[in-house]
Amino acid sequence: MTSRTLAPWVALVALAFAPACYIDLTDGSGGGEPPPGPTRPPEPADRPEPVLAEDPPPPPTGGTLAIAADGTLALASDADRDVVWVLDVSPGELAEARAPIAELALGADALPGQLVELEPGRWLVVLRGEGALAEVLADPWRVGARHPICDAPWGLARDAMGVAWVACEEGQLVGLDEALEEIARFRLPADLRDVVPVGDVLFVSRLREASVLAVNRSGTVRSTMRPEAVAERRPNVAWRMVPDPARGGVLLTHQLSVAAEVPTTRTGYGAPSGDSVGAISQPALTHLAADGRVRTRPFQVGQAVLPLDLAASPDGRVAVVATGSRGFVKARVYDAPFARETIGLGEVTPVSFSDGRQALSVAFDAEGEAIVQTRAPWAVVTRFGPLTELPGVDRFDTGQALFHVDGGRGVACASCHPDGREDGHIWDFDLPGPRRTQTLRGGLRGSAPFHRDGAMRDFHELNRRTLGELMGAPTPFPDESEAMLRWLDTLPAVAPALQDDDAEAVARGRAVFEGAAGCADCHQGARLEDGERHHVGTDGPMDTPTLVGISRRLPWMADGCATSVDTFFADAVCRGERHGDFAGLRVEEERDLAAYLRSL
């Protein structure tokens, strides 16, 4: 383990998963309580300083590795360096790592994401940083035309009729014909993630609530499906959805977050009251059939932490990237004979990278072998070793690494804060009671104190309390907390959800916000918060939350009681009797204020 790769405590966590070899195959049949979290040894005099990337990397995402239909080529998106790689994955002996076929530069801040093959030698790649798609063409390999598509494109798929479908986070589903001319644009709820054609229906996943919309070709939502609740755990955070070629329908990796009371004692995030599974947010796999049948299976403790990506084979095998566990999990999915509400997972084999590299994406090659895209170092690997090493400057960053690694109890920071956001879950803490997860995007520096009650005076205290106590990890050093804060501050706020409100109503609502309603007395500045604590008439003084991106963060209020904008205005007990000056607002002023809030 090199000091450059991981901070000392992260190295301890990684070593808990694998001995000192390149890749170790371990038996995945374990279960029960996880081992105790590692303890921090005395700080050595030569402890390496955190690595701060000059240009910090984005959060890791899945779906960035795709195999060509003929099985000889793969394309891999490299969001760290804004490149698409063309790789040789043809069958044959692997005597040594193969050189990339081509490196295709996309330009700064393109943020390439998911890819799809349109026809041999012609691909599409999502450019999340540009709100566009780019064509990738062969003979010679090059980047072709760009096609603006929406503010925040994410999911990409091609159906049997040759239509390319793009799911946009802000709530649009866009269809393009073979000439990449737009033929459909549908409005859907915001927070969209992946899109998968299933017969004549499009399955579209939503990130926070882990729901799947079944959308017909006219844009009508025929039904909404969700994974099953399991042992007092509610589904949320839909990481990745892919077709299931073995049984039809789709497979979805997601979290299951506890509804039981969560103790705020040490390692409380690893052992909720009455829950023998372990971590407060457990990764799971769900099969959703075209007929609406839903079956869910949690992973064992410590397996598949942060299941960012998923691949499925025609013979029923799956490979799940476990970014927080520094590896991936192979398994066979089967129909559980005595439980119609679940699926079975057999032949479970965790594969761990002992050098601490971060797993990003996974696919099955032509021989049925799982190949995995990794970063820090960048490569495409098999369980036997590197298939292709991807050259260039490595943007390893300690803050990003700390945020995405299992703290030792089966949960990472990103388990509840996917992409630095919030999971929409309302946690039942023993103290201070129900609290919903807060977003970490849009800039945290200068916004102290932290937590809903403002009890944490700075970010290091917050990190020490959450990561070092509740999550059971060794107490982070101040410079490690600073590295994480520095990385989080590079993440912009999420784009507002699409709305039908006209610009004049939004402008009038802003005037009400800054005037008659008194909102701007506390919600001010670039983040629309003042860093102070106020008693609005609920359960005690609360730190003023940012309103940036609030249109994508329902439910509102510390305990999540405001499930809609209408609830916020109508329920004074939920909102708080002293929360602004709403009593004197006219109906039309309230309507305009709601329009303004939806624009944020």
Q: Where are the domains of the chain?
A: 503-598
Per-residue confidence at 385, pLDDT binned at 50, 70, 90? confident
At residue 7, does pLDDT exceed 60?
A: no
Distance (Å, whole) CA 163 – CA 182 = 10
Per-residue confidence at 446, pLDDT binned at 50, 70, 90? confident
Average pLDDT of 322-333?
A: 90
DSSP 466: I
CB atoms within 10 A of CB 202: 26
Give me the pLDDT at residue 116, please.
Answer: 98
Is the CB of residue 370 less than 8 Å from the CB of residue 330?
A: yes
φ/ψ (deg, to 5) at 58: -75, 170
CA atoms within 13 A on the CB side of 312: 22
Distance (Å, whole) CA 68 – CA 74 = 6
Percentage of residues in the chain with pLDDT exceeding 90?
60
Element holding 89 (H helix, E strand): none
CB atoms within 10 A of CB 124: 24
Distance (Å, whole) CA 223 – CA 200 = 14
How far, in Å, are 94, 220, 266, 469, 521 from residue 465 at the CA level?
47, 46, 9, 5, 31
Average pLDDT of 333-355?
A: 78
The token duo for 408 is 């030792």
Per-residue confidence at 354, pLDDT binned at 50, 70, 90? confident
Q: How far apart are the first and last CA of the chain?
A: 45
Q: What is the pLDDT of residues 249-276, one digit of tens each?
A: 999 999 999 998 888 887 778 754 444 4
* CATH 1.10.760.10 is held by the domain 503-598: yes
Among left, alpha and beta (phi > 0; psi -120 to 50; other), residue 549 is left
Compute CA 326 distance to the chain's CA centroid, rounded to the nearest angstrom.
16
φ/ψ (deg, to 5) at 126: -75, 130
Average pLDDT of 319-341?
A: 82
Contacts 24+ apart (CB under 8 A), 445-449: 445/485, 445/489, 446/531, 447/527, 447/529, 447/531, 447/546, 448/531, 449/531, 449/533, 449/543
**What is the pLDDT of the chain when averaged over all its residues?**
87
- Specify the range with the lowest mean pLDDT, choosing from 306-320, 343-357, 400-414: 343-357
Residue type, 38: P
Bridge partners (DSSP) of residue 206 are 192
At residue 23, does pLDDT exceed 70?
A: no
Looking at per-residue pLDDT, the higher value among 431 and 423 belongs to 423
Bridge partners (DSSP) of residue 134 are 125, 146
Give me the pLDDT at residue 42, please.
Answer: 58
At residue 170, does pLDDT exceed 80?
A: yes
Distance (Å, whole) CA 344 – CA 316 = 11
Q: What is the pLDDT of residues 524-557, one digit of tens each?
A: 998 899 888 888 988 888 888 899 888 888 899 9
Give me the pLDDT at residue 15, please.
Answer: 26
Element holding 592 (H helix, E strand): helix 587-598
Is the CB of residue 134 less than 8 Å from the CB of residue 75?
A: no
Residue type, 306: L
The token duo for 210 is 């882990």
Bridge partners (DSSP) of residue 116 are 124
At residue 200, does pLDDT exceed 60?
A: yes
The token duo for 386 is 């590197």
Give me the pLDDT at residue 476, please.
Answer: 92
Peptide bond preceding 245: is omega within 30 degrees of 0, i.e. cis?
no
Distance (Å, whole) CA 400 – CA 142 = 31
Q: What is the pLDDT of residues 119-163, one digit of tens each?
A: 999 999 999 999 999 999 999 999 999 999 999 999 999 999 999
Residue for token pair 């095998």: 317
Distance (Å, whole) CA 403 – CA 415 = 9
How far, in Å, are 107, 172, 205, 245, 290 from residue 199 at the CA level?
37, 20, 16, 12, 8
Distance (Å, whole) CA 450 – CA 447 = 8
Per-residue confidence at 293, pLDDT binned at 50, 70, 90? very high
